[in-house]
Amino acid sequence: MKRPSDQQLRERLMQPSPKRQGQPVDAMTPPDQEMAVWVTLDMLKPYEHNPRQVQNPKYEEIKASIRAAGLKHKPPVTQRPGEKHYTICDGGNTRLQILRELYEETGESRFHAFYALYRPWQSEVKMLTGHLSENDNRGQLLWIERAKGVMDAKAMYEEESGDTLSQRELVKRLAEDGYQVAQSHISKMLYTVEHLLPTLPNTLYSGLGRPQVEKLISYREACRLIWERCTQEVEPQGFADTWHQTMAWFDDEGQTEMNWGIVVDRLCGMLADYTGVHFNVCELTLDNIVTYRKRRWDLEEHQAFEALDVELQQMRDPDAQPPSLYPPLPEPATGGAPVVKVPASDPGREPQSQPQTDPQAEQLPSPRTLSRDAPTDDERAESAELLRLREQVAALEREKQQLSESPSPSVPVFSESASEADSGPMAAPAEEADDWPEGAARTEAERAARLEGLTQSRWEETPGKRGYRHHLASELGVPSFDFEQLAPLAAPVLSGETTPPIADVWFIEGVEDEPRSLRIRIRELVQVIARWGGFGGSDVVIADDDGIGFDLNPLPEAADRRARFAWQALASLRGELNPEYPADATLWGALLGTHREEGAENAWDDAVLLRFFRLVRLIRRLREHLQGQQEAQS
């Protein structure tokens, strides 16, 4: 090929360049794969939906590290379509804020320009879940921050799909986007944002943790159930505002734990003020609901609302059940002057032969009047029973005064009226009783020693709950005793674990002495033995509402020896032993701890053994009821 001349080369170089075919662009197309990019602070912006609303607790430590050694962990960035700036993704907003502060303080270029890890854009919800996952894995997010982030993610998912997401579907979508969270936590998170955040924002953002939030949710739900039970006293839709006004007083900055004693008192006061139910009834019902739901018990089956229903019935229809006194008043003393009841139409007339009473003797009201207004003078004059009671109180006061003045150490003989009034087992103190049972504690020291010796584990009962238990028993006309009262007389053993305490192995209170209540208590005790055997809460033990309260399914083939011991012990109460399992002396010797060759691990401890004794007593009593029903039907 002939070489061009210098003139030809000069002419070719002077020719114009080709014309541009496309339109000019201001920026390059974002990369479609991860890569390192050189950025400056002017090119970056923080993520506007960052779940973290409170400053990172390690902010100063991170800042000191970056100041000394530079930026070791490059923040990940992405770029939304159509935007010029890069946005922080998957965590890194704290590092970006620190870099801005250090650049303003020092002016060093190493804080202004650096390499960042670029990740291709996916979606808004993936960016949010990336921040949640990154911060949550480091354990630095507050409960309310996680809950708010999950709520925002749910709203984004529903906006994309156009449908409402269930909690199960939400858990699935979050897991697909890299954020693992349990469904039980999801429900509590949504509940927190919807019902607790408007009332306690400062407390939640101060660091109120999940256990405290779960307890707060349980109390709010218990209050709501009580509120909705009082349909004739309050409007159901008014609960949310009432709860907000009551609990807003507890919203304080820096509070990470609630003062639950004050909170429960305030909630019971709220319920009592708005529903008209007695404070003690509200406290008892609230505690029942919280406790039973924690144990996953059915509220109706275990009569969580019994006290509330009785109170509401008395409020709505006071004449449905007339007031009564417990224990029943004795007959008037022999030779005593009769008392004539004054009609209500003649309030000025005095009762005939009214006995002279001690001025310090107070009138004893009916248990029903404890939560009512004090009776008037007319009502007092109308009650012959109360007059007889006052006469007996005066007689006791006179004999007490004679006892204190008498130099003789012998025990005086009470009058007939006094002995009748004190015929109950708790009436006279141990030091004054002539016929005190053999082996009973006679002094305070002996009583304290017996109480301590018979107590295996403590069971706390507030005075309000105990008082209302006695009040309810008196309204029903049945006896009710306390462990501290029975211990000096009988030989009970107090053992309070996950079941109500056993104050006496043999005694059955009147409120529980009927088939339905007996079956409930039997099932509770059966579950204790089943849990000891390792199959509590499973389908091995099933409820039986017609027989003795429970039935048994066969154990799995892989059941160990301890499980077979427990199953066989329960089956013996039904009379249905399994010949393949240990029986007779081998079974009871191992469970009672008399056959040591079976191993100590197969022997019941005292708490389980005590409940088995109680279980035998309850089943025997239930069978008596069932036999009586059959005889009545025949």
Higher pLDDT, 324 or 131: 131
Domain boundary among 296, 316, 336: 316
224 close to 246: Cβ distance less than 8 angstroms = no
Q: Strands 86-88 and 44-45: what pairing?
A: parallel
529 and 491 fall within a common domain? no
Q: What is the pLDDT of residue 453?
A: 59
Distance separating alpha carbons of residues 466 and 470, to the nearest angstrom: 6
Range scoring the smallest mean pLDDT among 80-89, 103-112, 376-385? 376-385
**Cα dihedral sign, 394-399-400-401:** positive
List the alpha helices (DSSP H) in 253-409. 260-275, 279-294, 306-316, 377-382, 384-405
Same domain, 505 and 519: no
Q: Is 70 exceeded by the pLDDT of residue 543?
A: yes
- Structure confidence at residue 349 (pLDDT): 42
> Can you give the residue range of the structural domain that contains 111?
35-181
**Those residues with Cβ within 8 angstroms of residue 497's Cβ, 6 or more apart along the chain or in another chain:** 457, 528, 607
Residue 320, classed as helix, strand or coil, is coil
Is residue 376 a part of any domain in this protein?
no
Residue owning tokens 């991860």: 34
**What would the pLDDT profile of 132-145 be if each residue is shown by its tens digit?**
888 777 657 889 98
Q: Are residues 151 and 241 in the same domain?
A: no
Q: What's the confidence (pLDDT) of residue 290? A: 93
DSSP state of 209: -
Whether 494 shows a pLDDT value over 60: the answer reads: no
17: phi then psi, degrees, rounded to nearest 5: -75, 165
Q: What is the DSSP letter of 40?
A: E
> Sign (positive/negative) of CA torsion 294, 296, 299, 302?
negative
Residues in the chain: 634
Residue 585 has pLDDT above 60, yes or no: no
How many angstroms separate the CA atoms of 540 and 488, rounded? 40
Averaged pLDDT, 287-310: 90
pLDDT at 244: 93
Q: Give the pLDDT of residue 584.
A: 56
Confidence of residue 222 (pLDDT cuts 50, 70, 90): very high
Element (H, E) at 541: strand 541-544
Does 233 lie in the same domain as 125?
no
What is the average pLDDT across 298-324? 83
Q: Which pLDDT belongs to residue 592? A: 67
Structure-token pair, residue 173: 């979508």
Among 476, 492, 510, the domain-final residue is 510
Q: Measure the CA–CA gap between 495 and 528, rounded to whole angstroms.
A: 13
Write out pLDDT tens, residues 102-131. Answer: 999 988 888 888 888 888 888 888 888 888
Flag whether 300 is in a domain: yes
Whether 223 and 172 map to the same domain: the answer is no
Q: Verify that 211 and 297 share a domain, yes or no.
A: yes
Strands (E), 62-106: 76-78, 86-88
Whether 258 is covered by a domain: the verdict is yes
Helix H segments across 455-503? 463-476, 483-486
User: Percentage of the chain with pLDDT > 90?
Assistant: 16
Domain count, the chain: 4
Nearest to 604 by CA among 618, 590, 616: 590
Question: How far, in Å, CA of 540 to CA of 207, rounded?
Answer: 43
Q: Are residues 498 and 558 in the same domain?
A: no
Identify which of 67-76, 340-349, 489-498 has the greatest average pLDDT. Answer: 67-76
What is the DSSP secondary-structure string of 412-457? PPPPHHHHHHT-STTSS-GGG-TTPPTT---SHHHHHHHHHHHEEE
CATH code at position 165: 3.90.1530.10
Identify the three-state secondary structure at position 494.
Answer: strand
The one-character DSSP state at 321 is S
Residue 425: is it exposed, middle or buried by C-beta count within 10 angstroms (0-12/13-18/19+)? middle
Contacts of 15 (CB under 8 A, 6+ apart): none
Helices (H), 162-295: 167-176, 183-191, 201-205, 210-229, 239-247, 260-275, 279-294
Contact indicator for 405, 426 with CB cutoff of 8 Å = no
Give a yes or no: residue 421 inside a domain. no
Cα–Cα distance between 123 and 88 in angstroms, integer? 13
Query: Residues 51, 126: one domain?
Result: yes
Decide if pLDDT at 383 tops 80.
no
Give the domain-ending residue among 181, 215, 243.
Answer: 181
Task: Report the pLDDT value the prediction gives residue 579, as an integer from 0 to 100.
Answer: 66
Two tokens at 5? 């001349």
Question: 523 with 544: CB under 8 angstroms?
Answer: no
| Calpha distance 138→161 (Å, rounded) | 31
CB hemisphere CA count around 387 (13 angstroms): 23
Same domain for 167 and 41, yes or no, is yes
461 and 561 within one domain: no
- The whole-angstrom separation of Cα 178 and Cα 190 is 19
Cβ neighbours of residue 357 under 8 Å, at least 6 residues apart? 390, 391, 393, 394
Residues 549, 275: Cα–Cα separation, whole Å? 36
Count CB neighbours of 592 within 10 A.
12
- pLDDT at residue 292 in the model: 92
Q: Is residue 103 part of a domain?
A: yes
In terms of Cα–Cα distance, which of 511, 537, 505 is closest to 524?
A: 537
Distance CA 139, CA 11 (A): 72
Residue 465 lies in a domain: yes
Place of tokens 């008399």: 594
Q: Rounded to 5 degrees, what are φ and ψ at 405?
A: -85, -20
Instruction: Compute the average pLDDT of residues 430-453.
Output: 54
d(CA 616, CA 525): 10
Instruction: Please give the mean pLDDT across all residues of the chain.
Output: 77
Question: What is the spatial distance between Cα 211 and Cα 263, in angstroms, rounded to a whole number?
Answer: 16
To the nearest 10°, the Cα dihedral for 402, 407, 411, 417?
-10
- Please report the pLDDT score of residue 498 as a whole number: 57
Strands 113-118 and 86-88: unpaired
Question: Position 396: which residue type?
Answer: L
485 and 547 together in one domain: no
At 127 the pLDDT is: 86
Cβ 111 vs Cβ 99: under 8 Å:
yes
Residue 427: per-residue pLDDT = 37
Does position 604 have pLDDT exceeding 60, yes or no? yes
On the CB side of 33, CA atoms within 13 Å amount to 0
Asked, for residue 225, whether it belongs to a domain, the answer is yes
Residue 573 placed within a domain: yes
Q: Is the pLDDT of residue 437 over 70?
A: no
**Shared domain check, 547 and 462:** no
pLDDT above 70 coverage of the chain, percent: 72
